[in-house]
Chain A
Amino acid sequence: AQKVTQAQTEISVVEKEDVTLDCVYETRDTTYYLFWYKQPPSGELVFLIRRNSFDEQNEISGRYSWNFQKSTSSFNFTITASQVVDSAVYFCALSERVRTDKLIFGTGTRLQVFP
C-alpha cells in the first residue's frame, strides 16, 4: 500500500538554524514521483519540488535542499539558515505511475521559526 510518513508533527527553531524535515514513503511501484509542498498561514499549498524515482541526485535551490535515498525510502528536506518566513506546514506527497488519480500526502510537519 502507498503511504507517506512525516513523523515530525511540529518543529521549532530559532532564525538562522538549519532544520531538516523527514519524509518516509512506501510504494510497490518502481516508477513514482515525490513532491514537497509548503502551506503558509494563508492556506494555499505551494509546490516546492518534484523528484522521480530514477533520479537520486540531491537538489539544492537557494536555502532549500532535498536528499532522496531509495535505499531508505526517504526524501528529506533541509532548510539552511532558516528565516521567519519559512514558518509553515510542509507536506511530502507520493504519486505512482500506475495510479494517476491520486497524490498521497503525509500528515505534514509544522515548522515555526522564531526571531
Chain B
Amino acid sequence: DGGITQSPKYLFRKEGQNVTLSCEQNLNHDAMYWYRQDPGQGLRLIYYSQIVNDFQKGDIAEGYSVSREKKESFPLTVTSAQKNPTAFYLCASSINANSYNEQFFGPGTRLTVL
C-alpha cells in the first residue's frame, strides 16, 4: 500500500534530550513537510523540502532540524533548544510543491516531554 508512515506513534523525552521523528513515504512524491499541531490550533509549518538535498524553514523552525538525503525520507529532530516541544507532529508529502497539489498526511507522532 502506498502512503506515509511515521514512527513512533508516541514518544516520551526528558528535558534536554534531542529526539528524532521518522517520516517515510512510498508515493514517489518530491515535496515533504513537517507540521506541528497544538490543542485548539491549526497546523503550523516547521520545515519543508521540495526536492532531495534541499529544505527550507517554515514558520516555526527554531529548535528543529531536518535532513532530506533520500526522496522517501524526511526525518525531523527536535533539539533541546525547542522550548516547548510537547505537541502532535504531522508529516505530509505532495507530488511537488505546486500550490494546487493536495498534501497527504501520515498518522502523526505525539511527543511528550517529561
Contacts and interface: CB of A to CB of B under 8 A. Distances in A.
Interface of A: 4, 9, 32-33, 35, 37, 42-47, 50, 52, 91, 95-97, 99-103, 105-108
B104 A102 contact: no
A4 B108 CA distance: 23
Nearest to A97: B99
B50 to A, nearest CB: 8
A31 to B, nearest CB: 8
Given A43-B108, A44-B107, A96 B99 contact: yes
Contacts of A46: 105
B45 A102 contact: yes
Contacts, number: 63
Nearest to A107: B42
B100 A108 contact: no
Given A105-B42, A106-B42, A44 B97 contact: no
Contacts of A101: 48, 50, 56, 58, 97
B103 A44 contact: no
Contacts of B102: 35, 47, 50
A102 B100 contact: no
A100 B97 contact: yes
A33 B42 contact: no
A12 B97 CA distance: 36
B107 A100 contact: no
Contact of A45 (B90, B97, B99, B110): B90
> Which has the most chain B C-beta neighbours within 10 Å: A37, A97, A100?
A100
A4 to B, nearest CB: 8
Given A97-B99, A107-B41, A107-B42, A102 B58 contact: yes
Contacts of A97: 99-100
B87 to A, nearest CB: 12
B40 A52 contact: no
